[in-house]
């Protein structure tokens, strides 16, 4: 009964906190109206069912990516025709980044919140989307022209599948940050609950860095190969959006029709979770 009560209270607190943060994101124009709802659902599930450490990691992702997408926004506008991710995140984008984390939080509640491997998986999923966001938002400001991950051919700033040294560095930094915070919050939680975190949590920053880098590379690889890409005849530009920002409908150029940027981000988080789970299993059980 106390367990259920605790869960109910935490979920209510999660709802209040998620609503407050998502509202602030909406006001700051980081979220669209549908994105606001997506963020509230994802935030409530992760806080309520994952616990406050999971919730704080989600906040770290949300706050840093919103801040980075505002950072240098004028330069991004002028640089990047392709740049679809910047600005307001909608429902599809919030679910692409957060739905796997929310599902892992549900699994965490169902298993009684005792499985450390789920924490590794969650950290990996979040590390991957954080890595990808940091790489996208900072890589676009790179002075060095990005190159396509597959052929090495120079491409326009912001092109899906284009990579740069700054982008790769930002990706590892973004992933490592999530892993470091997972470790730090895990230690504090261990102290507070009187159940010290196992020494193996110390692997989290490294595991997260690997998971995030793997996720971002996969993201770029998919972006360069099978992600749906369109061409606006009016502007003479490639775009990953089925509706170009000039308001006209572009023609389909290449890739798989259904594989839009949101699906690519979801696959990125899945890859991060899988890599972190594999590494987590090694350090926890070997
Ligand atoms: Zn156009």
Q: Long-range contacts: 249-253, Cβ < 8 Å, 24+?
A: 252/228, 253/229
Helix (H) or strand (E) holding 239: strand 237-239
Q: How far is the CA of 265 from the centre of ligand 1 (A)?
A: 24
CA of 232 from ligand 1 middle (Å) equals: 5
Region 251-256: what's the mean pLDDT?
Answer: 92
CA of 246 from ligand 1 middle (Å) equals: 4
User: What pLDDT score was predicted for residue 1?
Assistant: 47
Q: What is the mean pLDDT of residues 170-194?
A: 93
Q: Which tens digits make up the pLDDT trace of 127-139?
A: 999 999 999 889 8
Q: Taking phi first (over 0 means left), then psi (-120 to 50 degrees means alpha), and beta for anything else, what does residue 29 get?
A: left
What percent of the chain is predicted at pLDDT more than 70?
95
Residue with the larger pLDDT of the pair 205 and 9: 205
Q: Is the model more confident about 282 or about 197?
A: 282
Q: How far is CA 54 from CA 57, 90, 126, 178, 182, in A?
A: 5, 22, 10, 11, 8
Ligand 1 center from residue 161 Cα (angstroms): 21
Please identify which residue in the block is written with the tokens 């950290």: 123
pLDDT band at 190 (very low <50, low <70, confident <90, very high): confident
Cα 248 to middle of ligand 1, angstroms: 6
pLDDT at 193: 82
């Amino acid at each position: 009964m106390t367990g259920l009560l605790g869960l109910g209270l935490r979920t209510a607190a999660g709802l209040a906190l998620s609503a407050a943060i998502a509202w602030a994101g909406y006001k700051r124009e980081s979220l669209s109206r549908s994105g606001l709802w997506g963020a509230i659902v994802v935030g409530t599930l992760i806080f309520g069912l994952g616990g406050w450490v999971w919730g704080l990691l989600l906040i770290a992702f949300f706050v840093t990516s919103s801040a980075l997408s505002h950072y240098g926004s004028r330069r991004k506008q002028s640089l990047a025709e392709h740049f679809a991710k910047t600005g307001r995140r909608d429902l599809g984008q919030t679910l692409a980044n957060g739905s796997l984390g929310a599902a892992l939080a549900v699994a965490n509640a169902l298993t009684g919140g005792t499985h450390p491997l789920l924490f590794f998986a969650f950290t990996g999923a979040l590390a991957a989307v954080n890595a990808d966001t940091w790489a996208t938002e900072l890589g676009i400001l790179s002075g060095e022209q990005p190159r396509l991950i597959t052929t090495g051919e120079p491409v326009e700033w912001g092109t899906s599948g284009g990579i740069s040294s700054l982008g790769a560095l930002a990706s590892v930094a973004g992933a490592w940050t999530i892993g470091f915070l997972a470790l730090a919050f895990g230690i504090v939680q261990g102290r507070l609950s009187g159940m010290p975190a196992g020494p193996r949590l110390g692997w989290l920053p490294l595991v997260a860095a690997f998971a995030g880098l793997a996720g971002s590379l996969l993201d770029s690889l998919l972006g360069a190969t099978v992600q749906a890409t369109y061409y606006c005849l009016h502007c003479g530009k490639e775009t990953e959006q089925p509706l170009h920002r000039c308001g006209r409908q572009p023609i389909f150029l290449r890739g798989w029709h259904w594989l839009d940027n949101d699906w690519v981000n979801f696959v990125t988080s899945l890859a991060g979770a899988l890599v972190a789970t594999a590494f987590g299993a090694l350090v926890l059980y070997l």
